[in-house]
Structure 1
Amino acid sequence: MLAALSATLMWDDSVAIRQGVNIEWFRTGTETADGGAIYVWSDTKTGERDIYAQKVDAQGNLVWGQPLIIDQKPDRQEDPVITNTSDGGFIIAWIDFSSDLDGDVYAQKINAQGQLMWPAGGKPVCTLAGFQISLNIEPDNTGGAYIVWEDSRNPSKDIYGQRLDGNGNQMWATSGLPIANGIGNESQNTMWADGQGGMIIGYHYVYVSEENLYAKRFGPDGTMLWAQATVVCDAPGIQSKIRMSPVGNGEFVFTWQDERGGSPDIYAQKINLNGQLLWSDPFSVYNDATATNPTQQLNPRITSTSDNGVVIIWEDKRLDSQNPDLFGQKVSAAGQLMWNAAGVPISVADFAQVSPRMAQDDNGGIFIVWDDARNGNAPNWDIYAQHLSSTGVALWEANGKAICSAPNEQSGCLIKVSNNNVFVNWMDMRNGSVGIYYQALTQSGNLLLAENGVQVFWGLSGDATLDQFIALPQQDKMVVIWQDTRSANIGYQIYFQIVNPDGSVLLEDNGKPVTLHSGNGQLYPDAVVTPTGDICVVWEDRRQNNPKIYAQLLSPTGERLWGDYGMELTESTPLSQISPKVTYNNGSFYIGWSNADLVGASHFYHTYGQKITNNQKQWGPNGVMISVLAQSEMNYECLFSGISGMYYYWTRTDPIDPSLNTVWVKLITENGTAATGWEDAGKKVSDYSGFDTIQIFPQAFETPQGVIVLWQDLRTDFLKNIYGQHISNTGEYLWNSSGVSMVDYNREQEMQAAVTSNSGIVFAWAENMDGTHDIGIQKYSYSGNPLWGALGNFVVQRDSTQNNPTLKRFSNGGMVVAWSDYSSFEPDIQYKYVNDDSSFVGDAWGYVMCNEAKSQYRPIAAPTGNTAFVVWSDGRSSGKTEILGLFAQRVTNECVGINDPTVVPIPAFTLLQNNPNPFNPETSISFVVDNNRANYELSIYNTKGQKVKTLHKGLLDKGYHSLIWNGTDSNNSRVSSGIYFYRLSSDSVSQTKKMVLMK
Structure 2
Amino acid sequence: MAQVQWEPDGVPIRQGVHLEWSRSAVADGAGGLIVTWSDCRLGDRDLFVQLFDENGDAQWDSGGVAVCTVTGRQEDPVIVTDGAGGGIIAWVDFRGGVEDVYAQRVDSDGQIVWAPEGVPLCTASAIQTGLRTTNDGSGGMIVAWQDFRDDASGDLYAQRVLGNGTIAPGWDPDGRPVTAEDGPQEAPSIDADELGGAIVAWADQRAGSNGWDIYGQRIRADGSAAWTIDGEPICDYLNDQEEPRLVRDSEHGVFVVWRDRRNASNGDIYGQRVDSTCTRLWDPDGLPICTESHGQEKPRVINDGASGAITIWIDHRSGSFQEDVYAQRLSGAGDLLWKVAGPDSLQGVPVCQAEGRQLEARLVSDGLAGTVVGWQDERNGSQNQDIYIQRMDSLGTPAWQLDGIPICDTTGAQGQPLLEPLGSGMTAIVWGDERDGSLAIYAEKVDLNGVTQWTEDGIQVHGGPAGNALYPSLVEGADRGALICWEDWRLGFAGARIYAQYVDTSGVTHWTKDGMPVCPDGTGSQTFPASAQSGDNGMVAAWVDRRSADKQIYAQRVDDTGSLLWGAAGVAVAPTSDDQEDVRIVNIGGSAFVCVWSDLRNGSFDVYGQLLDAVGTPQWGGGGVSVTSAPAEDERPYGVIEDMTGGVLVAWDGGTWDNHNVYLQRLDSGGTVHPGWPPEGVIVCEAAGNQENAQIVSDLAGGALLVWEDLRGSDLDLYAPHVDSSGEIQWKVPGPDSLDGIPVVQEVNDQSDPSIVSDGAGGFVVVWQDFRNGGDYEIYGQWIDHTGAAQWDPGGVPIVSASESQSNPFVTGDSGDSMVVLWEDHRGGVWSDIYAQAVTDFGTGLWGPEGLGICVAAMDQSDPIGIGDALRGAIVLWQDMRASGKTELHDLYAQRLIESGVLVLDQGDLKEGANEVSLAQSFPNPFTHSAAIAYTVPYETGDGGSRGSGGAGARVSLRVYNIQGQLVKTLVEARQVPGRYRVEWDGRDDRENKLAAGVYFLRLEVGTESLNRKMILVR
TM-score bracket for this pair, using the shorter chain length: 0.7 to 0.9
In structure 2, C-alpha distance between the alignment counterparts of 1:722 and 1:767, rounded to whole Å:
10
Task: Give the structure 1 partner of residue 215 of structure 2.
Answer: 214
In structure 1, C-alpha distance between the alignment counterparts of 2:242 and 2:7, rounded to whole Å:
53
From 466, 477, 480, the equivalent of 2:481 is 477
Question: Could you tell me which amino acid in structure 1 is paired with residue 192 of structure 2?
Answer: A
Question: Could you tell me which amino acid in structure 2 is paired with residue 499 of structure 1?
Answer: V
Task: Give the structure 2 partner of residue 506 of structure 1.
Answer: 510
Q: Does 1:577 align with 2:580?
A: yes
- Structure 1 residue 149: Cα displacement: 0.9
Task: Give the structure 2 partner of residue 419 of structure 1.
Answer: 423
Task: Give the structure 1 partner of residue 548 of structure 2.
Answer: 544
Unaligned runs of 5+ in 1: 1-5, 289-293, 904-957, 960-987, 990-999
- Structure 1 residue 93: Cα displacement: 0.6
Q: Secondary structure of the equivalent of 1:626?
A: strand
Q: Is the 8 A contact 2:475 2:539 kept in 1?
A: no
Task: Give the structure 1 partner of residue 645 of structure 2.
Answer: none
Q: Secondary structure of the equivalent of 1:841?
A: coil
Deviation per CA, 1:749-773, whole angstroms, max 9, x where unpaired? 1221111121511111111242421
Q: Does 1:193 align with 2:192?
A: yes
Q: Is the 8 A contact 1:471 1:481 kept in 2?
A: no
Q: Is the 8 A contact 1:473 1:864 kept in 2?
A: no
Deviation per CA, 1:623-659, whole angstroms, max 9, x where unpaired? 1221133xxxx112212222122111111132xxx22
Task: Give the structure 1 partner of residue 396 of structure 2.
Answer: 392
In structure 1, C-alpha distance between the alignment counterparts of 2:382 and 2:794, rounded to whole Å:
60
Cα 1:75–1:841 shift into 2, 3 Å: same
Higher RCO (C-alpha 8 Å, min separation 6): 1
Cα 1:10–1:225 shift into 2, 3 Å: closer
Moved over 3 A (4+): 85-89, 467-475, 893-903
Task: Give the structure 1 partner of residue 884 of structure 2.
Answer: 878
Cα 1:520–1:212 shift into 2, 3 Å: farther
Task: Give the structure 1 partner of residue 24 of structure 2.
Answer: 28
Task: Give the structure 1 partner of residue 706 of structure 2.
Answer: 709
Task: Give the structure 1 partner of residue 117 of structure 2.
Answer: 121
Cα 1:359–1:579 shift into 2, 3 Å: same
Q: Is the 8 A contact 2:34 2:87 kept in 1?
A: no
Q: Secondary structure of the equivalent of 1:248?
A: coil
TM-score w.r.t. length of structure 1: 0.85
Q: Secondary structure of the equivalent of 2:721?
A: strand
In structure 1, C-alpha distance between the alignment counterparts of 2:527 and 2:815, rounded to whole Å:
33
Task: Give the structure 1 partner of residue 524 of structure 2.
Answer: 520
Q: Is the 8 A contact 2:357 2:377 kept in 1?
A: yes
Q: Secondary structure of the equivalent of 1:60?
A: coil
Task: Give the structure 1 partner of residue 678 of structure 2.
Answer: 679
Question: Could you tell me which amino acid in structure 2 is paired with residue 351 of structure 1?
Answer: G
Q: Secondary structure of the equivalent of 1:637?
A: coil
Task: Give the structure 1 partner of residue 6 of structure 2.
Answer: 11
- Structure 1 residue 89: Cα displacement: 4.9
In structure 1, C-alpha distance between the alignment counterparts of 2:816 and 2:47, rounded to whole Å:
48
Q: Is the 8 A contact 1:356 1:370 kept in 2?
A: yes
Task: Give the structure 2 partner of residue 268 of structure 1.
Answer: 271
Q: Secondary structure of the equivalent of 1:220?
A: coil
Q: Secondary structure of the equivalent of 1:796?
A: coil
Task: Give the structure 1 partner of residue 538 of structure 2.
Answer: 534
Q: Is the 8 A contact 1:7 1:832 kept in 2?
A: no
Matches for 1:111-190 after TM superposition, within 5 Å? 111-154=107-150, 155-171=152-168, 172-190=171-189
State the identity as a percent.
Answer: 30
- Structure 1 residue 49: Cα displacement: 1.8
In structure 2, C-alpha distance between the alignment counterparts of 1:199 and 1:899, rounded to whole Å:
71
Q: Secondary structure of the equivalent of 1:303?
A: strand
Cα 1:83–1:198 shift into 2, 3 Å: same
In structure 1, C-alpha distance between the alignment counterparts of 2:443 and 2:325, rounded to whole Å:
22
Cα 1:839–1:251 shift into 2, 3 Å: closer
Larger Rg: 2
Question: Could you tell me which amino acid in structure 2 is paired with residue 177 of structure 1?
Answer: R
- Structure 1 residue 358: Cα displacement: 1.0
Question: Could you tell me which amino acid in structure 2 is paired with residue 131 of structure 1?
Answer: I
Cα 1:476–1:339 shift into 2, 3 Å: same
- Structure 1 residue 896: Cα displacement: 4.3
Task: Give the structure 1 partner of residue 607 of structure 2.
Answer: 607
- Structure 1 residue 230: Cα displacement: 2.3
Matches for 1:758-907 after TM superposition, within 5 Å? 758-768=761-771, 769-825=773-829, 826-866=831-871, 867-893=873-899, 896=902, 901=907
Cα 1:687–1:875 shift into 2, 3 Å: closer
Deviation per CA, 1:136-161, whole angstroms, max 9, x where unpaired? 11122433221111111123211111
Matches for 1:629-640 after TM superposition, within 5 Å? 629=630, 634-640=631-637
Q: Is the 8 A contact 1:628 1:680 kept in 2?
A: no
In structure 2, C-alpha distance between the alignment counterparts of 1:695 and 1:304, rounded to whole Å:
71
Cα 1:752–1:398 shift into 2, 3 Å: same
Deviation per CA, 1:420-470, whole angstroms, max 9, x where unpaired? 1221111222222222221122222222112111122222222312x4444
Cα 1:200–1:532 shift into 2, 3 Å: same
Cα 1:441–1:491 shift into 2, 3 Å: same
Q: Does 1:372 align with 2:377?
A: yes
Q: Does 1:652 align with 2:654?
A: yes
In structure 2, C-alpha distance between the alignment counterparts of 1:835 and 1:251, rounded to whole Å:
77
In structure 2, C-alpha distance between the alignment counterparts of 1:468 and 1:902, rounded to whole Å:
42
Cα 1:535–1:309 shift into 2, 3 Å: same
Matches for 1:87-486 after TM superposition, within 5 Å? 89-98=86-95, 100-154=96-150, 155-171=152-168, 172-207=171-206, 208-209=208-209, 210-227=211-228, 229-260=231-262, 261-280=264-283, 281-288=285-292, 294-340=293-339, 341-375=346-380, 377-420=381-424, 421-465=426-470, 467-474=471-478, 476-486=480-490
In structure 2, C-alpha distance between the alignment counterparts of 1:257 and 1:399, rounded to whole Å:
24
- Structure 1 residue 373: Cα displacement: 1.8
Task: Give the structure 2 partner of residue 925 of structure 1.
Answer: none
In structure 2, C-alpha distance between the alignment counterparts of 1:868 and 1:263, rounded to whole Å:
61
In structure 1, C-alpha distance between the alignment counterparts of 2:744 and 2:906, rounded to whole Å:
30
Unaligned runs of 5+ in 2: 340-345, 643-647, 733-738, 910-972, 975-990, 993-1019
In structure 1, C-alpha distance between the alignment counterparts of 2:652 and 2:634, rounded to whole Å:
10
- Structure 1 residue 538: Cα displacement: 0.8
Q: Is the 8 A contact 1:494 1:525 kept in 2?
A: yes
In structure 1, C-alpha distance between the alignment counterparts of 2:908 and 2:559, rounded to whole Å:
42
TM-score w.r.t. length of structure 2: 0.83
- Structure 1 residue 738: Cα displacement: 2.2
Q: Is the 8 A contact 1:841 1:902 kept in 2?
A: no
From 494, 498, 509, the equivalent of 2:498 is 494
Q: Secondary structure of the equivalent of 2:685?
A: coil
Task: Give the structure 2 partner of residue 938 of structure 1.
Answer: none
Mean Cα displacement is larger for which, 778-787 or 81-90?
A: 81-90
Q: Secondary structure of the equivalent of 1:369?
A: strand
Q: Secondary structure of the equivalent of 1:604?
A: coil
Task: Give the structure 2 partner of residue 589 of structure 1.
Answer: 593
- Structure 1 residue 503: Cα displacement: 1.6
Q: Secondary structure of the equivalent of 2:92?
A: strand
In structure 1, C-alpha distance between the alignment counterparts of 2:665 and 2:20, rounded to whole Å:
51
Q: Is the 8 A contact 1:464 1:485 kept in 2?
A: yes
In structure 2, C-alpha distance between the alignment counterparts of 1:236 and 1:860, rounded to whole Å:
61
In structure 2, C-alpha distance between the alignment counterparts of 1:401 and 1:326, rounded to whole Å:
14
Structure with more strand by fraction? 1
Task: Give the structure 2 partner of residue 953 of structure 1.
Answer: none
Q: Secondary structure of the equivalent of 1:130?
A: coil
Question: Could you tell me which amino acid in structure 1 is paired with residue 32 of structure 2?
Answer: G
- Structure 1 residue 876: Cα displacement: 2.3
In structure 1, C-alpha distance between the alignment counterparts of 2:40 and 2:523, rounded to whole Å:
28
Cα 1:517–1:78 shift into 2, 3 Å: farther
Question: Could you tell me which amino acid in structure 2 is paired with residue 94 of structure 1?
Answer: W
Question: Could you tell me which amino acid in structure 2 is paired with residue 870 of structure 1?
Answer: V
Superposed CA RMSD in Å reads: 2.2
- Structure 1 residue 129: Cα displacement: 1.6
Q: Is the 8 A contact 2:542 2:583 kept in 1?
A: yes
